[in-house]
Structure 1
Amino acid sequence: MTPLLIIGAGGFARETAQLVEDVNAHIPTWELLGHLDDDPGLHGTSVDGVPVLGGAKEIDRYPHAQVVVCTGNPRDYASRWRIVHRLGLPATRYATLIHPTASVSRSSTVGPGSVIMAQTVLTASVRVGPHVSVMPHVTLTHDDEVSGFATLAGGVRLAGSVRVETGAYLGAGALVGENLTIGAFALVGMGSVVTRDVPAEQVWLGAPARYVRPATVNTGVDR
């Protein structure tokens, strides 16, 4: 089996560890070595039975391991961007993790470092970029494009030909109409119904979704 490290030890990382167990129960694939997290209080502990081996800098001790970065929440949804750019690893080091119950069509693609959780559907010619988080029960329909570092929380639904740009965050249950664009590092709130394009680095909420305020985004590096 291929050795695997999960960067992060919070909720998303713990869910990813369970995804790995489900993959291995279906087809033995991954040897999960543990988590790497920069919170020193977690070092030497375990979460859900998986050890926290140290901080992200410890990755140099595991040159043959595949890696997936599993961090981010609505308060700081650019953390994966910062960590991946700080690590500077080649794309070949990153694992692509797809839950056995996800339905990914043969015409769809998923980039390195991305995680596709349970009961997700990619229907036809869907393109998911690198380091994308797709949580359970998400539906991506024909010709959707989700760019790198985006987060689609549980139950998000995209109509056809939607474009989600780099680093955007769509909250749980958000609905996006056909042919619309969610701009880079924008945030769409939980349960929102998007009927117009959302510009980059803005927060939109409601049904229909409307502009609320500028997004507070800390990428830590030039974009």
Structure 2
Amino acid sequence: MKDLVIVGAGGFARETAAAAHAGWRVLGFTDDDPALNGTQRSGLPILGPVDGVRDMDAAVVVCVGNPRAYTARRRIVERLGLPVERYATVVHPSVSIGAGSTIGAGSVLLAGAVLTADVTVGGHVAVMPQAVLTHDDLVSPYATIASGVRLGGGVVVGEGAYLGAGALIREGVTVGAGSLVGMGSVVLREVPAHQVWAGNPARFLREVKELTS
């Protein structure tokens, strides 16, 4: 088993730790909140601030971000500047990965996710429980696919996009880079880059504001 350190100590990080136990020796979490230093989460220690992973002899996976700060994962990866070979790919044992599918370094696939056939998942992507990615889907780096999302065939998810829980994306549709699709939305047409869409059918709500938290 290889050693793994998880950047972040929130819910996604702790879910990743649970998923990783089948194939990794999880040493603990790093987090920039000084109040967490020396404490534990899910029985694993907080090892110090995020930048400390540079000097650790372990693989790394960055598990931060939520709908209010979904650009945070990319910012931390860029800040760390680690070579790609330092990043782990964490796949829960219950995930189904079909023929021809590929998963990039630093990505996490949680329990019950399904990739049916010829699905491409880029680096540092978060695929939450019970998401279904069907044939020929392309999920670009830093995207987040929340729990219960269903992608029709040939969907393109742009870099850093966020698909909220239970969203349904029609086959052949593109969700633009940096966009956010609200939970439970039914997306029937293209979502341009850096926009927020929601509803059934999904419609434009507003431009994405700069996310800094």
TM-score in same-fold range (> 0.5): yes
Q: Distance in 1 between matches of 2:206 and 2:85?
A: 38
Residues 1:88 and 2:81 aligned together: yes
Aligned to 1:67, the other structure's residue is in SS state strand
Q: 1:94 to 1:219 in 2, by over 3 A?
A: farther
In structure 1, list runs of 5 or more residues that go unmatched. Answer: 24-28
Contact 2:54 2:82 in 1 (8 A): no
1:73-104: CA deviation from partner (whole Å, max 9, x where unpaired)? 00000000000000000110000011100000
Aligned to 2:36: 42
Kept after mapping to 1: 8 A contact 2:166/2:185: yes
Asked if structure 2 preserves the Cα contact closer than 8 Å seen for 1:135 and 1:154, the reply is yes
Map of 1:115 onto structure 2: 108
Counterpart position of 1:2: 2
Distance 2:188 2:99 in 1: 29
Counterparts of 2:191 and 2:120, CA distance in 1: 20
TM-score (norm 1): 0.93
Q: Shift of the alpha carbon at 1:60? A: 2.9
> Residue 81 of structure 1 contacts residue 219 of structure 1 at CA under 8 Å; is this kept in 2?
no
Partner of 2:53: 59
Deviations, residues 37-90 of structure 1 (Å, cap 9, x unaligned) = 01111110000101001101111331x210000000000000000000000001
Superposed structure 1 runs of 4+ greater than 6 Å apart = none
State how 1:132-143 maps to structure 2 within 5 Å. 132-143=125-136
Counterpart-to-counterpart distance in 1, 2:48 and 2:165:
31
Structure 2 stretches lacking a partner, 5+ long:
none
Pairs aligned (count): 213
In structure 2, how many angstroms separate the alpha carbons of the residues matched to 1:72 and 1:2?
Answer: 25
- TM-score, normalising length from structure 2? 0.98
Task: Sort the Cα spacing of 1:207 and 1:137 in 2 relative to 1 into closer, same or farther, 3 A.
Answer: same
**Corresponding residue number in structure 1 for 2:13:** 13
The answer on whether the counterparts of 1:146 and 1:165 sit within 8 Å (CA) in structure 2 is: yes
Matches within 5 A, 1:1-223: 1-21=1-21, 23=22, 29-62=23-56, 64-218=57-211
The CA deviation at 1:219 is 7.1
